[in-house]
Amino acid sequence: MTNPADQPDNRPAEDSAPLAKSSRRRWFAGLAAVGGAGALGLLGANAQAHGWGRDGRGDPEAMKRRMERRISRLVEYVGGTAQQKERIVAIATAALAELQPLREQTRAARRRGMELLAAPVIDRRALEQVRVAQMQAADARSRRLVQAMADAAEVLTPEQRAKAAERLKQRMERGRRG
């Protein structure tokens, strides 16, 4: 009986491995750049969707001010123009406005789910309906955020997106969000 570990590997030689690895790395870097630029510009939209915030938790005006500050810092960091900042702020502001009703739906569904779980008799069908509603709202939020991120990323040049993605990577490595 032979040991499988002693058998030669029957997989084909990976002559294209360096090329595939390089292409994959470029693809992920491009994805990170697009997502990174938009993500930084939409931190306020994400905060709106999840109710995050230090001052005036849930206050749309406070969230908008924080979002504009973050966008200003990003655009300044990547060497962007005032016009780029204005366009990204407009994109993020529109996303904030569109995400507000979804945020309210999510909060209502969460409250309803807690009521159902606290009831003397557990209504599994109603809990499933709440779960489905929450998943639909999450999908709608995700779709809108990706749209806004792509729109914001298109405002920046490829070089600016790469610089923003590198900054995001550094921040994530330090364990910070953003």
Average of pLDDT values for 71-77?
Answer: 91
Q: With a threshold of 0.85, does the pTM exceed it?
A: no
Q: What is the mean pLDDT of the chain?
A: 77
Average of pLDDT values for 92-100?
Answer: 90
Is 118 a residue whose pLDDT tops 90? Answer: yes
Buried b (16+ CB within 10 A) or exposed e, 24-34: eeeeebeebbb
Is 40 a residue whose pLDDT tops 70? Answer: no
pLDDT in tens, 76-88: 999 999 999 999 9
Query: In the prediction, which pLDDT does 148 show?
Result: 94
Q: What is the largest CA-CA distance in the chain?
A: 74
Query: In the prediction, which pLDDT does 100 show?
Result: 86
